[in-house]
Amino acid sequence: MSTDSPTPTASGAAADVLAAAVHDAADRTAELLRAAPGPGVRIPRSAWTVGEAAAHLVLANRLMAGLAAGEAHGTYGDGTPGGLAAANTAALAAYPERDPDVLAEAVATSARAFTAASAARPASTPADTPMGPMDLATFGSYLLTHILGHGYDIAVALRRPHMLTPANAALTVPFLRTAMPRVVDARTAAGHTACYRLRLRGAGAAPFAVTFASGEAAVSDEPPRRPDCTITTEPVTFVLLALGRRTPLAAAARGAIVPTGPRPWLAPRFPGLFTAP
C-alpha cells in the first residue's frame, strides 16, 4: 500500500490560519458542552454519549499536544481504525471525568497546548502520530479534523448548529489525503482498479487524485492517467463523507456531489472504499 503521497505544508500566515481554525473549533465545541443538559445524551449512530465524546477529545488533544512537542508517548493503537478504537476504549475507561463544564475547559486548553507546541517547531518537523508519521503541518490538519468530527457529533446529539464551514473543511484536506491510503477497506477495495479526481467546490483547496490498483490506494497532486471518475463536492460534505458522518446517497440527494468522467457511476462507491479514521 502506498503511503508516500505529497501533502501541502503550512508556514507563516498559513500556520496562523490553521491554529485559528483549531482554536475556533475547540471553543465552539466547548460552548456546546457548557450548554449541554448533561453528559449522558446519546450521540446518534454511535456507542458514545456526549460526555464520552468530550472526554475522548480531551485525551486526544493532550496526547497530540505532547507528540507535537516531541514527547514520547509509546504506541496508541496500531494506526488502523480498529486499533485506534480499541485504544480509545481503554483510554476512556481510565479517565472517568464526564462533567461537561470541566471537559469544555479542557477541550479548549488542550487544543491551545497543541498549537503552542507546534508553533515552537518548524512545520516540516516529522511527528509520530496515532495515524502514522506526518509533518507537524499535516498533524495540525489531523487535530482539526478530529475536533470537527467529534464536535459535529456533539452538535447533532444536542440538536445545535455544528461548526463545520467550507473554510475549515478545506484545512482538513492535508490530513485526509495522508490518511486515505492508510484506511483503505481491504474488503470493499479488493481487486478495485480505478483513478479518481477529487475537487472541492469553492474551498480554495487544490484538487487531487486517488488511484486504486489491485485494491491499494495512492494519492497524488495530479492523476497518473485520465481519471475514470471526477468527483466535485461541496467541502463540508466532503469531510462528512470522509468521516463516515454522511452517506453518498444522502449527499447526492442534496446535490452536494457531482460526478463526471467516463465512469461517473463509481462516485457512490468511493467513500465505501475506506474505513473512516
In the prediction, which pLDDT does 85 show? 86
In the prediction, which pLDDT does 11 show? 63
Residues 240-252: tens digit of each pLDDT? 999 999 998 888 8
Q: How far apart are CA 37 and CA 46, in angstroms?
A: 19
Q: Is the pLDDT assigned to residue 4 strictly greater than 80?
A: no
In the prediction, which pLDDT does 77 show? 75
Say what percent of the chain tops pLDDT 70: 95
Q: How far apart are CA 74 and CA 97, in angstroms?
A: 23
Q: What is the mean pLDDT of residues 73-93?
A: 84
Extents of the domains making up the chain = 13-170, 184-273
In the prediction, which pLDDT does 254 show? 85
The CATH code for residues 184-273 is 3.30.1050.10
Q: Is the pLDDT assigned to residue 9 strictly greater than 80?
A: no
Residues 211-237: tens digit of each pLDDT? 999 889 999 999 999 999 999 999 999
CATH 1.10.730.10 fits 13-170, yes or no: no
